Amino acid sequence: MQTQDWPDDVFWRPDGGDDVWRERWGFPDRPRLLEQALAEFESEGLLVPWLACYGNHEALVQGVGVVTAELAARMVGGRKPSRLRPGVPRADALEVFTTAPHEFFGEGDGSLAVPADPDRRPVDRREFVDLHFTPAARPAGHGFTERNRRDGTAYYAHDVDGVRFIALDTTSLAGGSDGRLDEAQFRWLEEELAAVSGRYAGRDGQEVTTDHDDALVVLFSHHGSGTLTDGPQLAALVHRFPNVVLWLNGHTHTNAVRAHPHPTVVGGGFWEVTTCAVMDWPCQARVVELLDAGDGFLAVACTMLDHEGRVVPAEGPLLSGSDLAGLHRELAGNAPWAGFDSPTSGTAVDRNVVLGLRAPFPRG
């Protein structure tokens, strides 16, 4: 957690002081901002039913670093690194942090005294899943199942009104920001897709027919096709099942819409919709609606949503959640390389669009 007296000038000091954010980009004084940002608040959105997804920031340090035994022990201790440890070349910093982040905990000026805290510990996949099983969870476990709790996995299927939502766990515990699926998850995914498909292509390319009831399938995962090391293999598997019509993901903090046409079936394939992060510009979420367009067609309607933060931030002391949210949007828009002039918003066809596709089976 950043504090006003954190060393170096690369951090914005909202209570005042010298830093590069104020000097180069004109960031303002906002006294007590850090204190107000840590205050408790009511999150009304948590009352809406939602499904959970496991990502690299849940599993890895800063989303890239392996949680080693040495790091886990140091996390709860009384020292915290503030800069690169002497002796680690800057060119090697990311590789070192990815595979052995505890190496950043050196002695001397690069380490600060902080209160020791046993709760500042890493949370593994099993505990992450368990934390979703509360009496108020809607739906139960937020999609995670008792199988996930037993096996320590984070991929599952959840059926709603003729649509099977399949959550994938794309996080690689070997480190790095890119994702992957292991062999067990590939086999599980194939079984889940077959269970709601009246026909599909077998591994040998021959058509397989079943007596299963058809359902539309929506995949969702943290990583998308461009940030999975086995993205082509996953796309090839999905193309065998015409019931898959949509793949939702994030990770890149950028709005993007991509078509995945079937390599041999005219009009076949699925859409991939990637949505930006609320924390970065343009600070939006997305509503995705799956519609019956008639005449054997479906439509995927995508609509971007802004949060209710003040459009013009308050000039005086920040008191309300709306004030803080409005200031967040202003700061995000003005962040260098990641704000107004960044590609995170995507193009017009990556935001408010209606995407068409053929219905994979007749709907009664």
Q: Give the Cα separation of 298 and 268 in Å (integer).
A: 12
Q: Which residues contact 269 (CB under 8 A, 6 or more apart)?
A: 239, 259, 260, 261, 262, 357
- The interaxial angle of helices 231-239 and 183-194, nearest 10 deg, is 20
Q: What is the pLDDT of residue 10?
A: 83
Q: What is the secondary structure of 157-172 as a DSSP string?
A: EEEETTEEEEE-----
**Tens of pLDDT, residues 341-359:** 999 999 999 999 999 999 9
Instruction: Give the number of other Cβ atoms within 10 Å of residue 162's Cβ.
Output: 13
Q: Which two structure tokens, joined as six digits, stand for 13?
A: 């000091």
Question: SS3 of 292, please?
Answer: strand
**Using CA atoms, how far apart are residues 135 and 133, in angstroms rounded to an integer?**
7
Half-sphere exposure of 57 (CA within 13 A, CB side): 10
pLDDT digits 0-9 by tens, 69-107? 998 988 899 888 777 777 788 888 889 889 988 887 765
Question: Domains (ranges, CATH) in the chain?
Answer: 1-40 (no CATH), 47-59+121-358 (3.30.750.180), 68-120 (no CATH)
CA distance 29 to 27: 7
Beta bridge partners of residue 260, listed in sequence order? 270
What pLDDT is attached to residue 133?
97
**Confidence (pLDDT) at 314:** 77
SS3 352: coil
SS3 336: coil
- Residue 110 is predicted with a pLDDT of 66
Please give the C-alpha separations between residue 215 and each of 37, 161, 172, 245, 360, in angstroms, as whole numbers.
44, 9, 30, 10, 9
Q: What is the pTM of this model?
A: 0.94
Q: How confident is the model at residue 108, as a pLDDT?
A: 54
**Could you give the CA distance from residue 271 to residue 276 in angstroms, rounded to a whole number?**
17
Q: Encode the chain (364 residues) as per-residue pLDDT tens digits.
A: 567 777 778 888 898 888 999 999 999 888 889 888 888 888 888 889 999 999 999 999 999 999 999 989 888 998 887 777 777 888 888 898 899 888 877 655 567 888 999 998 999 999 999 999 999 999 999 999 999 999 999 999 999 999 999 999 999 999 999 999 999 999 999 999 999 999 999 999 999 999 999 999 999 999 999 999 999 999 999 999 999 999 999 999 999 999 999 999 988 999 999 999 999 999 999 999 999 999 999 999 999 999 989 988 777 888 888 899 999 999 999 999 999 999 999 999 999 999 999 999 987 6
pLDDT at 208: 97
Beta strands in the chain (DSSP E): 79-81, 111-113, 156-160, 163-167, 199-201, 207-209, 216-220, 244-249, 256-261, 269-274, 284-294, 297-306, 353-358
Q: Does residue 177 sit in helix, strand or coil?
A: coil
In the numeric block, the tokens 């939702």 are attached to 248
